[in-house]
Amino acid sequence: MISVVIPTLNPGPRLGATLAALVEGAVEGLVKEVVVADGGSTDRTLALAEEAGCVLLSTAAGRGGQLRAGCAAARADWVLALHADTVVEPGWIEAVARHVVGPQERAGYFSLRFDDPSLTARIWEQGVALRSRLLRLPYGDQGLLVHRGLYDAVGGYPDWPLMEDVALVQRIGAARLQPLGATVRTSADRYRRDGWVRRSLRNADLMARFSLGADPHDLARRYG
């Protein structure tokens, strides 16, 4: 069985779809619990999580800290970290079930699709797939399935406002990361709002600065 950990901060109605997609996993006996680590939402997030039977945690805002708190509270041997606007797609149960009976020192991630019908979105998805395959560098919106022993051994999520996902997969290491063979669908709202190219350049700039040693807290203040 797995614990699903979701950090939230006013995710809006998208959280409903994320939780609904996990119901089948609970029915099939795969999902032990869904832990919602909330950073101070003022929308219907808390009510929605309670209605869905989630374990609710109240934490300081900051995705790294929220994920860290959620994983600390998780009771299953395997933890699946998901963003609040990321929805698991059909086939995920079988993929996760195959992974959790394998080596505990292997972490898994999903392929990514955007909830956007445009050709641009398809091209960006191919870019994500290429980055994941060649660099073994999946981002947080692809989900991360990791055994508690491995998670603890590498120090878990750092309490950072961003780049917490990159830091964890780097600690795990490329040799211990593998695709799960299933897909998640995530929101393209930020790309549509900022522009696909502009948003991608911003992400690349953040990654470059982080790789050169920039402090994640300074980056968060710089980019908002």
Q: Residue 40 belongs to a domain with what CATH number?
A: 3.90.550.10
Position 123 in a domain: yes
Position 133 in a domain: yes
Q: pLDDT value at position 182?
A: 98
Position 194 in a domain: no
Judge contact between 194 and 155, C-beta under 8 A.
Answer: no
Position 45 in a domain: yes
Q: pLDDT value at position 16?
A: 95
Q: pLDDT value at position 12?
A: 87
pLDDT digits 0-9 by tens, 184-196: 999 999 999 999 9
pLDDT digits 0-9 by tens, 135-162: 899 999 999 999 999 999 999 999 999 9
Residue 122 belongs to domain spanning: 2-187
Q: pLDDT value at position 223?
A: 78
Q: Name the more confident of 224 and 145.
A: 145
221 has a pLDDT exceeding 90? no
Position 212 in a domain: no
Residue 188 vs residues 25, 113, 143, 148: alpha-carbon distances, Å = 25, 9, 16, 31
| Cα–Cα dist 184/90, whole Å | 9
224: tokens are 């908002």
Position 25 in a domain: yes
pTM: 0.95
Instruction: Report long-range pairs for 189-193 (Cβ below 8 Å, ≥24 apart).
Output: 189/85, 191/114, 191/116, 191/121, 191/124, 192/116
Q: Rounded to 5, what percent of the chain is helix, strand, coil?
A: 50, 20, 30
Region 58-80 average pLDDT: 97
Region 44-48 average pLDDT: 95
25 has a pLDDT exceeding 90? yes
Rounding to the nearest 10 degrees, give the CA dihedral for residues 11, 16, 20, 21.
Answer: -40
Position 211 in a domain: no
Partners of residue 2 on adjacent β-strands: 31, 78
Q: pLDDT value at position 222?
A: 82
Number of domains the chain is built from:
1
Per DSSP bridges, beta strands 31-38 and 55-58 are parallel
Region 42-58 average pLDDT: 95
Position 193 in a domain: no
Output the average pLDDT for the chain.
96
pLDDT digits 0-9 by tens, 88-113: 999 999 999 999 999 999 999 999 99
Q: pLDDT value at position 142?
A: 97
Q: pLDDT value at position 179?
A: 97
